[in-house]
Amino acid sequence: MSRSGRHPHSSESPNSIATSRDLSTMPPDSTNVTDAMAAAIAPQRRNPMKPRGIQPGFKVLIGLTLLTALLLTPFVFSEYYLELLRLRSVDLHQFLRGELYKQGTGYAAMAFVVLEMLLTVRKRGRGWIASIKLPGSMMFWRSTHIFLGVGLLGMVLVHTLGANGLNFNAVFLWVFFATTLTALVGVVAETGILESARSYFGKLPGTDTILTKGPLIRGLRALWLTSHIFFVCVFGVMLLFHIALAYYYQ
């Protein structure tokens, strides 16, 4: 017995304290890994991680997803209500399908496209030959990019009246849908993981490696961001052809 009245191997000894601190570094096959992971998860349940790179929260993004679904609905039923509009109001139908309306709404949609491109300018502009510097943080421009993307979808609905088009225009419209949805679904999934109270999401198939937030988000981003960039490139090329064809047949 020591002079302080405590046994040298009691629960308050330095050795036991060091052992408890090392629990977080124990390998997954350790018998105490469950307790260590539970201790790590508990604080995150009280204070879920907030997204660092994306301003809109998960609830806001869910709202934008529902709004996107609402904006896509007219494209399903346009064949019916456009025919009904033509039968009931020929003059209004001709105006909405006429050259003046198409040009006006087309220029408005083009303005949204240009504003969407400002995110690329903010990210890459400083490295161009003619250096371009835009004010504002990347978080601000990413947030603006997300909201403008949904706004562009609404503007396309106004421009097309929900009509799916034929041949080239039909393919062009579906490429635009893919461009919008790949980004929105990816951002919603990424933000949901970031704000989740869970610290791990199972294991990688065929291995004992625990799938944590970081590797999962990196894997998802490699998938959805690559797909989004691909569709953006295709959309940009088809947009030029769309404008050229519109003025050629004017």
What percent of the chain has pLDDT above 70?
74
Q: Looking at residue 247, what is its pLDDT?
A: 80
Predicted confidence (pLDDT) per residue in 151-194, tens digit: 999 999 999 999 998 889 999 999 999 999 999 999 999 998 88
Asked whether the beta carbons of 164 and 173 are under 8 A apart, the reply is: yes
Predicted confidence (pLDDT) per residue in 38-53, tens digit: 444 444 444 444 444 4
Length in residues, the chain? 250
Q: What sign does the CA torsion over 26, 32, 37, 39 have?
A: negative
Q: Looking at residue 171, what is its pLDDT?
A: 95
Q: Looking at residue 125, what is its pLDDT?
A: 63
Q: Looking at residue 14, what is its pLDDT?
A: 46
DSSP 16-35: HHHHHHGGGGS-TTSTTHHH
Q: Which of 233, 212, 224, 213 is nearest to 182 (CA)?
A: 224
Residue in the structure block whose two tokens are 């019916």? 80
Q: Looking at residue 122, what is its pLDDT?
A: 74
Q: Looking at residue 209, what is its pLDDT?
A: 78
Q: Looking at residue 207, what is its pLDDT?
A: 76
How far, in Å, CA of 109 to CA of 12, rounded?
69
How far, in Å, CA of 109 to CA of 156, rounded?
6
* DSSP SS3 for 212: strand
Q: Please identify every stretch of the chain with a pLDDT value under 50, giving residue numbers as ranges.
A: 1-28, 30-34, 36-54
Q: Looking at residue 36, what is its pLDDT?
A: 46
Q: Which two tokens stand for residue 105?
A: 């709404």
Q: Looking at residue 17, what is its pLDDT?
A: 42
Q: Nearest 5°: phi and psi at 210?
A: -75, 130
